[in-house]
Amino acid sequence: MKTMRAAQLTEQGNPLELVTLPVPSPGEEEILVKVKAAGICSSDLHYQEGRSQVTKLPITLGHEIAGEIVECGKQVRGLEPGDRVCIFYLVTCGKCPACSSGNDNYCSEAKMLGKNIDGGFAEYITVPARNAYPFPDSIPFTHAALLTDAVATPFHALSRAGVKTGESVLVIGIGGLGLHAVQIAKIMGAGKVIAMDLDPEKLSLASRVGATMTVNPGEKKAVEKVIELTGGGVNLAVELIGLPQTIRQAIDCTATGGRSVVVGICPEEIALNPYHDLLLKERTIMGSADQSRADFPVIIELADQKRLDMSHSVTRELPLDEINQGLDMLRKKDINLVRLVVTFP
């Protein structure tokens, strides 16, 4: 029996364990992928620490995955061994009205790789063939891995919010998602794009990839500054952090008729005055969860055509053996982190 190395969470609160497991074999409609790159997302840290729940233990974490197909199940068409693929991380039923209309992220049976079923911090993974999106040689595996979440998630949010030509956009939180949100807003036709983050280094990174202005909320009157820079507030605020105060900032920074899209995971309640915050200013607040299949061909094209500058996206590559050090770096926020990516030879 062929075996592989994997990093598993056996108990929340403990470090991941490096284990040896059998290489899974693909079902008839599945593919076996040799993982080449898997991004470490803040969500992985939340699962490890127990701040977000996983539904099975032990579980192999990792949901930002790219690799090479090594075997296809009997019923698989259109894919073959050797194809470079990135993986849509929701395994869905494929049949319900949500799935049929391309809104797989609404599927009530959706299971997430690395949360509900084994993910990509392993040498191999099996996934349904319909979750694999081939990408060209122009895109390195590390970037392809990030496309599946760090790019796809803000792309989905900005698509939902519908950026109109010339609109001003505020991006709150310049991490793995925010650095790409800035660029996607520009690609979609935004005028002013304002990056907001506490870390001056991240703000300078945001400027390098196209942010027209930056605001540090650590300095006084951040909201007033955004309102001043835009002559009354932004048309669209994208919240990527998930704290009650940053969601509040997003709302307060939007102009009359403006909208806020909340992507950061915030399980707490926020105070809202419907009359002053919403009605009087005709503002909209919306949520955006995960991605949909329709996002994948577009973001792969943007990466292939170099419309997305991903040269700052991978802060460091790590071998699987150093996954716990990677999670510690994320926890301590001690280096100017965009994304750490586990890579495999």
96 scored as a contact of Zn ion (CB under 5 A):
yes
Q: Least distance to Zn ion from the beta carbon of 195, Å? A: 20
Asked if 112 touches Zn ion (CB under 5 A), the answer is no
Given the rule CB under 5 A, which of 49-57, 98-106, 206-214, 236-244 is the region that contacts Zn ion?
A: 98-106
Position 341 contacts Zn ion (CB under 5 A): no
Distance of CA 8 to the CA centre of its chain: 21
- At a CB cut-off of 8 Å and minimum separation 6, what does 95 contact? none
Is residue 19 within the footprint of Zn ion (CB under 5 A)?
no
- If one asks whether residue 131 binds Zn ion (CB under 5 A), the answer comes out as no
Shortest distance, position 258 Cβ to Zn ion, whole Å: 27
Q: Is 43 in the site for Zn ion (CB under 5 A)?
A: yes
Sole binder of Zn ion in the list 48, 60, 92, 142 (CB under 5 A): 92
- Three-class SS of residue 205? helix
Does residue number 167 form part of the binding site for Zn ion (CB under 5 A)? Answer: no
Q: Does 241 bind Zn ion (CB under 5 A)?
A: no
Residue 292 Cβ vs Zn ion, minimum distance, rounded to whole Å: 12
Determine if 193 is a binding residue for Zn ion (CB under 5 A). Answer: no
Q: Does 90 contact Zn ion by CB under 5 A?
A: no
Residue among 19, 93, 187, 265 that touches Zn ion (CB under 5 A): 93
Site string for Zn ion, 248-287 (x = CB under 5 A): ----------------------------------------
Q: Quickly list DSSP for 59-70.
A: EE---EEEEEEE
C-beta closer to Zn ion: residue 92 or 254: 92
Q: Are 48 and 26 in contact (CB under 8 A)?
A: no
Shortest approach of Zn ion to residue 145 CB, angstroms?
Answer: 11
* Residue in this structure with the two tokens 């797989």, named with its chain if needed: 104
How near is the Cβ of 131 to Zn ion at its closest, in Å?
A: 13
CA distance readout (Å), 129 to 26, 75, 121, 225, 343: 10, 9, 19, 48, 22
Length of the chain equals 345
Check residue 148 for interaction with Zn ion (CB under 5 A): no
**Binding flag, residue 290, Zn ion (CB under 5 A):** no
DSSP letter (8 states) at residue 175 = S
> Are the C-beta atoms of residues 192 and 212 closer than 8 Å to each other?
yes
Question: Least separation, in Å, of the C-beta of 255 and Zn ion?
Answer: 30
Straight-line distance from the first to the last Cα atom of the chain, in angstroms, rounded to the nearest whole number: 21
Distance CA 232, CA 243 (A): 24
Alpha helix segments (H runs only) across the chain: 42-49, 97-100, 141-146, 152-161, 178-187, 200-208, 222-230, 244-253, 295-304, 323-332
Under rule CB under 5 A, residue 149 binds Zn ion: yes
**Interacting residue ranges for Zn ion, rule: CB under 5 A:** 41, 43, 92-93, 96, 99, 107, 149
